[in-house]
Amino acid sequence: MKELTIDATIDNVAAVTAFVDEQLEQLNCSMKTQYQVDVAIDELFGNIANYAYNPDVGAATVRVEVTKNPLAVVITFIDNGVPYDPLAKADPDVTLSAEKREIGGLGIYMVKKSMDDVSYEYKDGKNILKIRKNI
């Protein structure tokens, strides 16, 4: 298991992505899988940066674990910000045109569709969001 604790800012999305990509490259993960994980990081860490501590800045921890049977990467995002379950909101109606759709929710919808598992819990004053992607 590898872990990175860093200020939850938009400027640090690239550092978090590089940290996770380093672990994925050790697994000889496909570019498609890496891209899907990178998009998920951008969405999830971006949300923490924009909303968890607003208007202040706080730390977030990103944990990367590898599981076997099946081979997968589990990425956990942990912050002490405002409690928020992004999975509680209904999925957007993607059959509607962009003009008719409500704003928000499309990013987490894409994460849910591209990952093999997404879970959230609020425990001990922390938001804990996990994504799992089979390699």
The pLDDT score that the predictor gives to residue 101 is 59
How much is the pLDDT for 17? 98
CA 81 to chain centre: 15
CA distance 32 to 50: 27
For the entire predicted model, the pTM comes to 0.92
CA angle 50, 55, 60 (to 5 degrees): 55
Helices 13-26, 31-47: crossing angle, 10 deg rounding:
150
Each residue's pLDDT tens digit, 10-26? 999 999 999 999 999 99
Q: Which CATH class is domain 2-134?
A: alpha beta
Query: Residue 41's pLDDT is what?
Result: 97
Tokens of 38: 């990178």
**Long-range Cβ pairs for the range 87-90 (8 Å, 24+):** 87/112, 87/118, 87/119, 87/120, 88/120
Whose CA is closest to 77, among 18, 10, 26, 16? Answer: 16
Block means of pLDDT (10 residues each) for the chain, length 135 residues? 97 98 94 96 95 94 95 97 89 65 74 96 97 96
